[in-house]
Structure 1
Amino acid sequence: MKPGIEWRQPRASAENQQFAGDLHAALSRAPKAISPKYFYDETGSRLFERICELPEYYPTRTELSLLRTHAADMAAQFGGGVQLVEYGAGALLKVRLLLDALPRETVQFVPVDISGPHLLAACDGLAGDYPGLAIQPLVADFTRPHTLPPCPRGSRRVGFFPGSSIGNFTPAEADAFLRLAAAELAGGGLLIGIDLVKDEAVLHAAYNDAAGVTAAFNMNLLDRAARELGAEFPRDGFEHLAFYNPAYRRIEMHLRATRALDLQLGGEIYAFHEGETLHTEHSHKYTVSGFQAMAARAGFRPGKVWIDANRWFAVLWLEAGPP
């Protein structure tokens, strides 16, 4: 780790206990479902980076194009001194475009991510490329209570949540996050990417890539359970399933049992019948007006919007209320 980066690392045992508890709960309910946050161990984070480079996966390249074209305009919404908080920071690729548009001496950067080793490696790379940038990475689940570093005097706190990751939340979870962010970013604002409603064929291809990377990413959740929690199951007994559910305007990802089987976890046995699934992720698609209305109910004031020529993706500026 490079000098000048303040690093906060949680206890691995606590992470495993939470993963185990949530997985037991997921396997006990009907239908079976678990939060997609458990995709993002070190292996899963690397696989997601590969997904972002796939020809079928349009969100990353579309959002990057918007950022490259409009970063200066986006950064102008932030004001002067900024504590820039990136939620679900990952590889720290997109934020570089914002950092390039901001006076570096006025920025404190706080990347927040659940995957500690992956975030540490990304921060090391960022520190090397942006000498003098104040970086304070925080390992945390940003949807749960967490403590950000104090905002520097004369600065305002601005959130950055790219990648349409809010689409992975249920409507209730999205509302809860927006309310949390509105309070945490009071006096500042939030720059957020959302995936828009579009042709179903485009969506299907994006989540069922020909190279099978998304399938491996999905399967890694159970592989992680085997590595970290000692879960036992026939690996060839599950397959990747992704489809668009028009009733909810969302892509759903599942791990589907190809035959009747048992999964053993911590002394418990969980039976799957043939065709039964573990619901691992959903990705909601929005309209701009619908999302702005949801953000307004959570305490934000909708601001500028940037949309690509295909109208596939949008980046929105949301102004938070006063502290």
Structure 2
Amino acid sequence: MTALRQVRPEELPVAPLRCYSFLDADCGFRQDVRAGLSMRHKLAPPRWSFDARGLRLYAALTESPEFYAARAELAILQAHAAEACEYVGPDAQLIGMGAGGLLAIHQLIQQLRPALYLQMDVDAVAVDVVTTALAEVFPRLNMAGLVADATRTLVLPGFVGLPVRRKAVLLPGWTVGSMTEDELFATLQQARRMAGTGGVLIAGVGLKKLRKVLDASCNDAAGAMAAFNAHVLERINSDLDGDFRLERFRHLAFYDEVKGRVEMFMESQVAQVAHAGGQRYDFEAGEAVLTGIMCKYSNEEFLSLASEAGFTPQKQWSDEARLFSVHGMTVT
């Protein structure tokens, strides 16, 4: 009788990547840009910043000394890895909401080794970039992409043949911070629906701090944030046949203590005209285009919002400097 040969992990087939789109016809980069730049107070939608170049720019930003949030989130997940794994449990279906938390996503996948990972973002390009990057590190991870708006109701497709015991949703700190409070509440409600009965939420939260600390975080000396902030205009030029002259805009960012958020702008330094997607846009000298926000919360504020959305807080971890926190919650 021929002896059975043990198969080594590297000999196993690489898991195929699949992507499912749930976007409505009125939701897309072109539509968002047209709507945002046609507003009285112009907006260049930041949720479209994570194409391949955007992800590289964000990676450079996470290494700047002033921009601490991503490193703090990663350090918390590493320090509490065993507890987080025990909390979520084995054979989980992990759902990552938003492409901006790749460090946290990578760390949780490494810790949990989920039965299935789903990457969700409104941008199909971002979903492809993130899942491709993850597949290079975890080639045998069962993984799929979901192109969907996190603030709109979504019914997840069923995935048969996988030993999933529990669903866990990850809301990285970048995703939490880049939404208004109303958008975050809608996203938390969607997270609850996706996690389902007995499911859990892992959420990162940037905490409120002194203005000088938060101002410095978005105005690093190396200019990494300025480069990332300008990228949405670069993408408008490349994807929508735009003619924005980036040298005529400057990065502007500060913490608004009343709103509890960092606001980032690209400020027009001269009166000018730009085109994109067949549309004309006029800018006055000094006119600021909102390109991103980073909302900050106290732990109490975030927990109150999550509780109202249908979660029961159970775990809370913070870094030593109390700059950031990570929360574990179950569906109520």
- For normalisation by structure 2, the TM-score amounts to 0.86
Is 1:94 the counterpart of 2:104 in the alignment? yes
Residue 116 of structure 2: which of 108, 123, 126 is its match?
108
User: What CA RMSD, in Å, does the superposition of the two structures yield over aligned residues?
Assistant: 2.3
> Residues 195 and 272 of structure 1: is their aligned pair in 2 closer, same or farther, counting only changes over 3 Å?
same
Is 1:35 the counterpart of 2:48 in the alignment? no
Other-structure match for 1:77: 87
Q: What do the CA deviations read for 1:53-89 (whole angstroms, capped 9, x no partner)? A: 1111111111111111101111222134311111124
> Residues 214 and 82 of structure 1: is their aligned pair in 2 closer, same or farther, counting only changes over 3 Å?
same
Other-structure match for 1:157: 167
> Residues 209 and 4 of structure 1: is their aligned pair in 2 closer, same or farther, counting only changes over 3 Å?
same
> Residues 193 and 121 of structure 1: is their aligned pair in 2 closer, same or farther, counting only changes over 3 Å?
same
Cα deviation for residue 97 of structure 1 reads 3.2
Aligned-partner SS, 1:93: helix
Q: What do the CA deviations read for 1:153-178 (whole angstroms, capped 9, x no partner)? A: 65111011223421111111011111
Is 1:60 the counterpart of 2:60 in the alignment? no
Aligned-partner SS, 1:77: helix
Q: What do the CA deviations read for 1:93-149 (whole angstroms, capped 9, x no partner)? A: 3334334443x4x62222224314412421321324xx4x32223344434455534
> How many residue pairs were aligned?
312
Amino acid at match of 1:87: M
Q: Which moved more, 1:206-215 or 1:112-121?
A: 112-121
Is 1:142 the counterpart of 2:167 in the alignment? no
Aligned-partner SS, 1:118: helix
In the alignment, is the contact (CA less than 8 A) between 2:273 and 2:282 conserved in 1? Answer: yes
Other-structure match for 2:32: 22
> Residues 100 and 38 of structure 1: is their aligned pair in 2 closer, same or farther, counting only changes over 3 Å?
closer
Amino acid at match of 1:179: Q
Other-structure match for 2:282: 271
Cα deviation for residue 42 of structure 1 reads 1.6
Aligned-partner SS, 2:203: strand
Aligned-partner SS, 1:8: strand
Is 1:228 the counterpart of 2:239 in the alignment? yes
Aligned-partner SS, 1:111: strand
Q: Which moved more, 1:155-164 or 1:83-92?
A: 83-92
Supply the distance in 2 between the matched residues of 1:169 and 1:266 (Cα, whole angstroms).
25
Residue 238 of structure 1: which of 243, 249, 264 is its match?
249
Residue 121 of structure 1: which of 132, 143, 161 is its match?
132
> Residues 41 and 100 of structure 1: is their aligned pair in 2 closer, same or farther, counting only changes over 3 Å?
closer
Residue 304 of structure 1: which of 312, 315, 330 is its match?
315
Other-structure match for 2:195: 185
Amino acid at match of 1:176: A
Supply the distance in 1 between the matched residues of 2:284 and 2:177 (Cα, whole angstroms).
29
Supply the distance in 2 between the matched residues of 1:78 and 1:211 (Cα, whole angstroms).
38
Amino acid at match of 1:204: D
Aligned-partner SS, 1:157: strand
Cα deviation for residue 210 of structure 1 reads 1.2
Report % sequence identity: 34
> Residues 54 and 173 of structure 1: is their aligned pair in 2 closer, same or farther, counting only changes over 3 Å?
same
Is 1:201 the counterpart of 2:209 in the alignment? no
Supply the distance in 1 between the matched residues of 2:236 and 2:90 (Cα, whole angstroms).
45
Is 1:176 the counterpart of 2:200 in the alignment? no
Other-structure match for 2:55: 45
Supply the distance in 1 between the matched residues of 2:148 and 2:245 (Cα, whole angstroms).
32
Supply the distance in 1 between the matched residues of 2:67 and 2:287 (Cα, whole angstroms).
27
- For normalisation by structure 1, the TM-score amounts to 0.89
In the alignment, is the contact (CA less than 8 A) between 1:169 and 1:282 conserved in 2? Answer: yes
Cα deviation for residue 92 of structure 1 reads 4.0
> Residues 124 and 23 of structure 1: is their aligned pair in 2 closer, same or farther, counting only changes over 3 Å?
same
Is 1:5 the counterpart of 2:16 in the alignment? yes
Supply the distance in 2 between the matched residues of 1:99 and 1:186 (Cα, whole angstroms).
20
Q: Which moved more, 1:159-168 or 1:305-314?
A: 159-168
